[in-house]
């Protein structure tokens, strides 16, 4: 029975689920009319939804016909083009959304476009979005404030910047991954190791770079001038920056690339210069997207649990939408070194150029 004390609090999906003795995911399925719930459980949840006046509280705009279902949905936003990394994240988001009975709406935008405004946030709320998940997004305080004002929780995956440390975010152990990638090359005997990463201000890139620097410093190996370059986690960065470092008077014998796409560009830059991977140049990537297995040679890389990151983001987004308090604002999933054919011991310790035919 609802008491005056409980009636004074806004109903949440978490409170409805707790009252019905089911999980939030099951309550969400009933709310969205999913068929994979037993009749007895469905009736119990529907009774609690009515007692808590949950659907009526969520309804916006014109009155709905009796029995209309509030279609729970979340918005997933990608900045720029959807690449192999983003596809892996999206697979995890879609799987988690399907399991929870939540509609996933995907959109993308270019940062220079106007769009993420207060009116945009209000439109999302009016459309029934329970939460927003952004992927590799260049967040601004204005976007964060607009969503907060509209009452739409935000979860960030691999943000390029974090203007507010209180934001709920999901990432991986980027620093540990940077250390593991660099140590692998050091253990093979490489000493001239370059790092070709993403934007200089990107949090994930900085963590990978710091891991690289930490491993080099621990091994007592200096980093020559010109061996660290910043890009945008794109193939074109790998070809351009790869050509630049390989054109140095004393080029690297190995490259740690900040993502698989950049690593693939480095391999192409080496090929264009007549270098063979891994005989003349070892290359390590980061992410372990499908691209890593399809490249030639297959790419040694740091595996991020990208689908798992998407799943965790959806789970946290739904918990925030249900009014729950999370144990931690930031979650990091473990990275793993995956060794394939793009790395080997250096033929010559001081030069990345191919040996002169004898």
Residue 343 belongs to some domain of the structure: no
Q: Residue 230's CB: how many other CB atoms inside 10 A?
A: 17
Number of domains in the chain: 3
Residue 87 belongs to some domain of the structure: yes
Instruction: Assign 327 a pLDDT band (cuts: 50, 70, 90).
Output: confident
**Same domain flag for 79 and 41:** no
**What was the pLDDT predicted at 33?**
59
Write out the DSSP string of 229-269. EE--SSHHHHHHHHHHHHTSSS--SEEEESSHHHHHHHHHH
Mean pLDDT score, 135-147: 79
Instruction: Assign 306 a pLDDT band (cuts: 50, 70, 90).
Output: very high
Residue 275 belongs to some domain of the structure: yes
**Same domain flag for 147 and 132:** yes
Q: Residue 162's CB: how many other CB atoms inside 10 A?
A: 16
Residue 344 belongs to some domain of the structure: no
Phi-psi region at 343: left, alpha or beta (left = phi > 0; alpha = psi -120 to 50): beta
Contacts of 222 (CB under 8 A, 6+ apart): 216
Residue 287 belongs to some domain of the structure: yes
Classified as helix, coil or strand, 121 is helix
**What was the pLDDT predicted at 66?**
42
**Same domain flag for 180 and 300:** yes
CATH number assigned to the domain comprising residue 314: 3.40.50.2300
Residue 31 belongs to some domain of the structure: yes
Question: Could you list the residue range(s) of the whole structural domain that residue 80 is in?
Answer: 73-171+305-332
**Same domain flag for 155 and 261:** no
* CA gap 30, 102 in Å, rounded: 11
> Between residues 280 and 329, which one has the greater pLDDT?
280
**What was the pLDDT predicted at 67?**
41
Mean pLDDT score, 69-86: 80
**Same domain flag for 206 and 250:** yes
**Same domain flag for 167 and 187:** no
**What was the pLDDT predicted at 34?**
60
> 273-288 pLDDT, tens per residue?
999 999 999 999 999 9
Residue 349 belongs to some domain of the structure: no
Mean pLDDT score, 260-274: 97
Residue 91 belongs to some domain of the structure: yes
**What was the pLDDT predicted at 304?**
95
Which pair of structure tokens corresponds to residue 227?
């061996």
Q: Which of 11-15, 176-180, 245-249, 279-283 has the lowest mean pLDDT?
A: 11-15
**Same domain flag for 8 and 51:** yes
């Amino acid at each position: 029975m609802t008491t005056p004390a409980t009636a004074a609090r806004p109903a949440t999906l978490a409170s409805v689920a707790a009252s019905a003795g089911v999980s939030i995911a099951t309550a969400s399925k009933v709310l969205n009319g999913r068929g994979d719930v037993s009749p007895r459980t469905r009736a119990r949840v529907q009774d609690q939804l009515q007692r808590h006046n949950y659907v009526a509280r969520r309804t916006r705009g014109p009155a709905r016909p009796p029995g209309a279902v509030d279609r729970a949905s979340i918005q997933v936003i990608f900045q720029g083009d959807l690449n192999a990394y983003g596809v892996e994240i999206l697979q995890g988001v879609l799987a988690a959304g399907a399991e929870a009975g939540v509609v996933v709406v995907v959109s993308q935008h270019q940062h220079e476009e106007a769009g993420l405004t207060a009116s945009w946030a209000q439109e999302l709320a009016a459309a029934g979005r329970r939460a927003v998940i952004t992927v590799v997004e260049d967040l601004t305080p204005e976007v964060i404030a607009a969503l907060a004002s509209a009452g739409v929780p935000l979860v960030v995956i691999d943000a390029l910047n974090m203007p507010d440390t209180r934001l709920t975010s999901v990432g991986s152990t980027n620093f540990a991954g940077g250390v593991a990638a660099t140590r692998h090359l050091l253990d093979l005997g490489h000493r001239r190791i370059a790092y070709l990463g993403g934007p200089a201000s990107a949090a994930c890139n900085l963590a990978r770079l710091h891991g690289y620097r930490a491993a080099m410093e621990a091994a007592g190996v200096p980093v020559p001038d010109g061996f660290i370059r910043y890009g945008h986690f794109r193939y074109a960065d790998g070809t351009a920056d790869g050509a630049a470092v390989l054109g140095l008077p004393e080029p690297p014998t190995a490259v740690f690339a900040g993502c698989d796409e950049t690593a693939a560009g480095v391999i192409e830059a080496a090929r264009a210069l007549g270098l063979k991977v891994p005989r003349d140049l070892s290359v390590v990537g980061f992410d372990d997207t499908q691209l890593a297995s399809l490249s030639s040679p297959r790419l040694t890389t740091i595996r991020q649990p990208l689908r798992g990151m998407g799943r965790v983001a959806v789970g946290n987004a739904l918990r925030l939408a249900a009014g729950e308090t999370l144990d931690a604002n930031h979650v990091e999933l473990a990275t793993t070194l995956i060794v394939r054919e793009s790395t080997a011991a250096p033929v010559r310790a001081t030069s990345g150029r191919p040996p002169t035919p004898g």
